[in-house]
Structure 1
């Protein structure tokens, strides 16, 4: 597949296996109680034995204490920790150094200047994720089914590997890739039938669309 895909907000092993079989590179698990996609530590431990071993696992956190992140890494044997809140570079460094996982930092984007946020994290993260900045009053930092002007991504030279997120679907994926130049994408609400309810058909459709991009 020329475009790497992260299916985020997975809450059950069946969906995880379907996404892996369809070609996802990463599976995202949200540890944030305000999200309809939240996975408890107890459910994570139950799910772990049934998860595919061939796909990298990403835990998504929003301003979570280190102890909770550490517990989730152990519960789900995470490969990555994704920070989707107002964390500091020192938080990312501590997670990477002490837990031995790779770190993704997510940035909310609305206009070109928002891309400047990434510079301070470049030395302490492994991947960047550029998502649409949530609308005012939103309870979630991501998964809001909105996008930002994708062309913004081509106004800067970005050296660190990155993923595009926000409002993606199988219908607009080609346009998003052409406009942004992304080589990897993250999708959550775009493959759901309702908030927090993944559609296996939409997952398959999205991954098929990604495979068709050359």
Structure 2
């Protein structure tokens, strides 16, 4: 099976089109005001309209309230919701309320952190293993940090899963070979500055995910 890719934190028509043109299976729209990738309602609506039906629109949230989720689902025409710092019970409630697929982010620094994943069985549809950010960091992801991929060696994943955290065109091939990730997720690794996507880096990353 080929590895699928999600380009996350897209904010402009040009970079979204680059992701679509070069084969992204999923595109990510961020709904978290502290992030430099945060989308307004109008911009989310504009971008969502450009995405063809075979590409999944994923909204990215940090422990959101119901109003934030509902507005984003409508404006972004979201197929899936990626939840950071959101407990399993809350993830389950959002899943029940919206009827959307849920991706639960599990922040990883040590092997013990992986123990959080099984709690999302029945509450989420996919686990996103992401690098744990430092205590007090303003953002839960998108900071270019990676974790030790060997921590996933021999892990029995409780749900379908994806790999995130510090990926770029130079290392994603190694990441896929090491972990067997069925889906990889990139944000800062295809940027020229925080929140500024680069069309050439998007193209290179997507090319590097293919054998």
For the aligned pair, the TM-score class normalised by the smaller chain equals over 0.9
2:67 alignment partner in structure 1? 67
Q: CA deviation at 1:49?
A: 2.5
Match runs of 1:120-199 below 5 Å: 120-199=119-198
The 2-side partners of 1:28 and 1:156 are apart by 26
The 2-side partners of 1:126 and 1:24 are apart by 20
TM-score w.r.t. length of structure 1: 0.94
2:32 alignment partner in structure 1? 32
TM-score w.r.t. length of structure 2: 0.95
Structure 1: segments with no counterpart, 5+ residues: none
CA shift digits 1:100-124 (9 cap, x unpaired) = 2100000110010100111111111
Q: CA deviation at 1:54?
A: 2.6
Q: CA deviation at 1:98?
A: 1.9
Q: Count how many residue pairs are aligned between Structure 1 and Structure 2.
A: 211
CA shift digits 1:49-102 (9 cap, x unpaired) = 2333331000000011111101100111100011012x2222222222221210
Tell whether 2:105 aligns with 1:106: yes
Q: CA deviation at 1:184?
A: 1.1
CA shift digits 1:97-156 (9 cap, x unpaired) = 221210000011001010011111111111110010002332110011011100111231
Tell whether 2:94 aligns with 1:95: yes
SS of the residue corresponding to residue 23 of structure 1 reads coil
The 2-side partners of 1:42 and 1:143 are apart by 23
Q: CA deviation at 1:3?
A: 1.0
The 1-side partners of 2:176 and 2:48 are apart by 33
The 2-side partners of 1:72 and 1:82 are apart by 12
Matched-pair contact (CA < 8 Å) for 1:110–1:132 = yes
The 1-side partners of 2:136 and 2:158 are apart by 33
SS of the residue corresponding to residue 135 of structure 2 reads coil
Stretch of structure 1 that moved more, 102-111 or 134-143: 134-143
Match runs of 1:11-90 below 5 Å: 11-85=11-85, 87-90=86-89
Q: CA deviation at 1:47?
A: 2.9
SS of the residue corresponding to residue 155 of structure 1 reads coil
The 1-side partners of 2:135 and 2:87 are apart by 22
